[in-house]
Homo-oligomer: A and B are copies of this chain.
Amino acid sequence: MPLVRFSVSIDQELVEAFDSLVEAQGYANRSEAIRDAMRSRLVRQEWEKGDEVAGVITLLYDHHRHGVSEALTEIQHHALAEVISATHVHVDEDNCLEFVAVRGEARAIEKLADRMISLKGVKHGALTATSTGKKLR
A residues in contact (CB < 8 Å) with B: 1-15, 17-18, 21, 24-28, 30-43, 45, 54-56, 58, 60-62, 84-85, 87, 89, 91-92, 94-95, 97, 99, 101, 103, 114-115, 117-120, 122-126, 128-137
Contacts and interface: CB of A to CB of B under 8 A. Distances in A.
5 contacts: A7-B7, A12-B137, A14-B42, A25-B115, A54-B91
A7 to B, nearest CB: 4
Contacts of A92: 132-134
A10 B120 CA distance: 13
B130 A13 contact: no
Contacts of A60: 54, 130-131, 133, 136
B135 A126 contact: no
A9 B34 contact: no
Contacts of A27: 118
Nearest to A1: B11
Contacts of A35: 8, 10, 14
A55 to B, nearest CB: 8
- List 6 tightest A-B contacts by C-beta distance, closest first: A95-B133, A11-B137, A37-B37, A7-B7, A13-B137, A87-B87
A34 to B, nearest CB: 6
